[in-house]
Amino acid sequence: MKNIILFILAINILTACKNKKETNAQQLEVSVVRKSNEDSTAINNENSPKQIEKELIKDCLPLLIDDPKLEKEKVIFFDSRKWGGEYWVDKSKNELNKIEALFPALTDKSVPSPLAAYTVSYLPKKYINQDGVVKQLDFKEPLGQDEFYLLYAYYLKQKNGDSKYKVQRDKLVDLYNAINEIYVSWSQSLLYYDHQGFRIYACAEYSIFLLDQYKEDFDSDFIEQKKLYLKSLKQYAQDQFKGSKIYDGNRIKENIAILEKLITNYYYLEQVRTFEIEYYRSRTIYL
């Protein structure tokens, strides 16, 4: 029975490692088949199914070696001082190299949305370090998602151009913050919205990426649509929690006024509507 388990294990893992060089795969298969031909009494803890599985999976993992020269080379991938804050977040070049290798959605040329990129990236990714030890990176939990979104913004900003779209980027961040503040005005908990304060930068950068698609619509008549949207947003807020202790009507009015001022063409209107529906209204999160 153990022989059969070993053989099936070899086939399954070799299939998972189909991107490995054919010679390596053949060597692994021969090794496991030899083990399956041994007398079952000779199987011990060292070549048990679990041990062989561990060795085969290890062979499939990428080998990521740190460069000592790059360990002290820090890269600031988010700097809140650009928006009036007082802190920044950095990583060593070695850390960024590992992230780029393990999470290709961050640098994908097709540029998925932040939500789509995170959806395919939040699970742990294992690798082998220079000492032959299996390690893993992940962006699980809310703080991990915050970091992923900030990294997404960092990489996409390089593609979009930092100074080229500074005005539009700042405007989008202010618009998305206003939406977040409106929802905070009736939230029973700030947990989700606090995290959104970091994720907004990725959403703004993705909107910058989409900018060229809307250039022809800049002069479109958007005034009536803008009025209808802001009216519906205000009504939605009132319908949800008006009369409750947590409802802050003045805060909502202040941020509606910000939207009124900053939505100056159809592009901004469409980006705000999409952002609000995708991250707020459709999610029904009152944490």
Q: Is residue 140 part of a domain?
A: yes
- Looking at per-residue confidence, does 93 or 239 come out higher? 93
Q: Whole-prediction pTM value?
A: 0.78
pLDDT tens, 63-77? 999 999 998 899 988
- Band of pLDDT at residue 249, cut at 50, 70 and 90: confident
Per-residue DSSP letter, 280: I
- Where a domain ends, among 60, 89, 108? 60
Collapsed DSSP state (helix, strand, coil) of residue 89: strand
Q: Which of 22-26, 180-184, 203-207, 263-267 has the highest mean pLDDT?
A: 203-207
Q: Is residue 108 part of a domain?
A: yes
Q: What is the mean pLDDT of residues 229-258?
A: 83
Same domain as 276, residue 192: yes
Same domain as 260, residue 220: yes
Same domain as 265, residue 242: yes
Give the span between the Cα atoms of 196 and 244, in whole angstroms: 23
Asked whether residue 129 carries a pLDDT value surpassing 80, the answer given is yes
Per-residue DSSP letter, 92: E
Q: What is the mean pLDDT of residues 166-191?
A: 87
- Where a domain ends, among 130, 158, 186? 158
Q: Is residue 188 part of a domain?
A: yes
Closest CA to 182 of 250, 133, 121, 112: 250
Same domain as 276, residue 171: yes
- Where a domain ends, among 119, 141, 158? 158
Same domain as 80, residue 55: no
Yes or no: say if 272 and 259 are a contact pair by the CB < 8 Å rule.
yes
Same domain as 46, residue 8: yes
Write the Ramachandran bin of 219: left for phi over 0, alpha for psi from -120 to 50, otherwise beta.
alpha
Q: Is residue 286 part of a domain?
A: no
- Looking at per-residue confidence, does 28 or 193 come out higher? 193
Same domain as 211, residue 120: no
**Token duo for residue 276:** 């609000």
Q: Is residue 171 part of a domain?
A: yes
Report the run of H or E that residue 128 belongs to, with start and end. strand 125-128
Q: Is residue 254 part of a domain?
A: yes
Domain count, the chain: 3
Same domain as 93, residue 24: no
Same domain as 173, residue 276: yes
Q: What is the mean pLDDT of residues 91-120?
A: 95
Per-residue DSSP letter, 168: H
Same domain as 77, residue 102: yes
Owning domain of residue 126: 68-158
Length of the chain: 287
Give the span between the Cα atoms of 101 and 228, in whole angstroms: 45
Q: Is residue 169 part of a domain?
A: yes
- Looking at per-residue confidence, does 73 or 43 come out higher? 73
Q: What is the DSSP string of 211-279?
A: GGGGGGGTTS--HHHHHHHHHHHHHHHHHHHTTSTT--HHHHHHHHHHHHHH--SHHHHHHHHHHHIII
- Give the pLDDT of residue 49: 59
Q: Is residue 287 part of a domain?
A: no
